[in-house]
Amino acid sequence: MRHLMNPMDFSVEELEKLFDLAADIEKDPEKYAHKCTGKKLATCFYEPSTRTRLSFESAMLNLGGSVIGFSDAGSSSASKGESVSDTIRVISCFADICAMRHPKEGAPMVAASHSSIPVINAGDGGHQHPTQTLTDLLTIRSLKGRLCDFTIGICGDLKFGRTVHSLVNALSRYSGIKFVFISPEELRIPGYLREKLWENALTFEEVIRLEDVMSKLDLLYMTRVQRERFFNEEDYVRLKDFYILNKAKMALAKEDCLVLHPLPRVNEISVEVDSDPRAVYFKQVQYGVYVRMALILTLLELV
C-alpha cells in the first residue's frame, strides 16, 4: 500500500506515467467512468478548502466511486479531542482511500502510519501540498509540452507557501530549470530549501521587484500572502498587497509566458489579467481533476 505525502514520493518516471494517464483521462473520460465503482473516497479536511476537496470529490465521482467526509474539524470528533491516528483507523473501516488536509505539519504522515488505506496529503500547514504540485506539473507539461529547460518566477509568500515548497522540490529534479524567487525580505524561501538548491547546484536568484524580472520568465507562479499563516495582523496588512500583477506588468512579459496560481487569489492578480490568454490559473483547476483521477487510480492499483 502506498501513500502520497510529498511529490518526491513518486520518481520522475512514475510521475511521467501518472501524467500520461491524466492526459488519457482528459482525452477519453468515458473510458474511466466506472473504474472506481464500489470504491469510496474519504475527504477529511481539518482546514478550509474549495478546490482541493471538491477536486478530489469530483475526481472520485468521475471515476464512478462515491465520497464521504467532513470539511471542517469542528463538525468532526476532533472537536471532542479525537487524535488523527484514531480518526484514520475509523475512516479505514469506511473508505478505500483518504485525502486529508490539516493545519499541523506532518499530521497526514501520522495518519498514514496508522492507516490501512492509502492516505493522500491534501496540504499540511506550511509544509507540503503534493497534489497541487501534481496539478501544476501537469498544467505546465500539457501547455508547454515539457517539464525542463525553462525559467520560472515564483512570487509572493515563499516562506509559508506549501504549494511553493512542494513545487520547488519537484521541479528540482528536471534539467535546465532556473528559479527566480520574487518576495519581500520577510517572505523569502526557507533556509533549508535554499541550502538544498545550493547542494544540488541548481540555478536560482532572489529578487524583490517583479518588474525587474518579468521579461525573462517562461512561467510565472503567483501566490497569495496567507493571512492564516501570520502571527500578527499588522505584518499581514503590511505585506498583503506587496505584489499585484496587472496588465501593465503583463505587458513586460514574454508572449508565451504562462501565469499560474494555485488559487484562491485575493488581490495579487488583478481581474483584468484573467482575459489574457497567458493567464492559465482556471485551466490549472481542470488539470487538477484529471491528475487526482489518475492518482486515485494509481494508489488503488486500478491501472
Q: Nearest approach, Cβ of 294 to ligand CP (angstroms)?
A: 18
Q: According to the binding rule CB under 6 A, does residue 79 interact with ligand CP?
A: no
Stretch that binds ligand CP, among 32-40, 46-54, 108-116, 178-186 (CB under 6 A): 46-54
Q: Which of 225, 262, 280, 293 binds ligand CP (CB under 6 A)?
A: 262
Q: According to the binding rule CB under 6 A, does residue 161 interact with ligand CP?
A: no
Contact yes or no for 267/241 (Cβ under 8 A): yes
Q: According to the binding rule CB under 6 A, does residue 51 interact with ligand CP?
A: yes
Q: What whole-number distance in Å separates Cα of residue 123 and Cα of residue 163?
A: 8
Which amino acid is it at 4? Answer: L
Closer residue to ligand CP, CB minimum distance, 141 or 224:
224
Q: Is 298 a catalytic residue?
A: no
Q: What share of the chain is helix, strand, coil (3-state, %, to 5)?
A: 45, 15, 35
- Positive or negative, the CA dihedral 281, 282, 288, 291 is negative
Q: According to the binding rule CB under 6 A, does residue 65 interact with ligand CP?
A: no
- Can you tell me whether residue 19 is helix, strand or coil? helix
Q: Nearest approach, Cβ of 274 to ligand CP (angstroms)?
A: 17
Q: According to the binding rule CB under 6 A, does residue 264 interact with ligand CP?
A: yes
**From 35, 39, 40, 52, the catalytic residue:** 52
**From 17, 51, 238, 254, the catalytic residue:** 51
Q: Is 34 a catalytic residue?
A: no
- Give the total of residues touching ligand CP (CB under 6 A): 9
Q: According to the binding rule CB under 6 A, does residue 176 interact with ligand CP?
A: no
- Can you tell me whether residue 184 is helix, strand or coil? coil
Q: According to the binding rule CB under 6 A, does residue 240 interact with ligand CP?
A: no
Q: What whole-number distance in Å separates Cα of residue 155 and Cα of residue 186?
A: 13
Q: According to the binding rule CB under 6 A, does residue 50 interact with ligand CP?
A: yes
Residues 6+ apart with CB under 8 A from 76: 44, 46, 70, 82, 87
Q: Check residue 190 and report its DSSP letter.
A: P
Which residue matches cell numbers 471515476? Answer: 63
Active site residues: 51-52, 80, 101, 129
Binding site for ligand CP (CB under 6 A): 49-52, 123, 132, 262-264
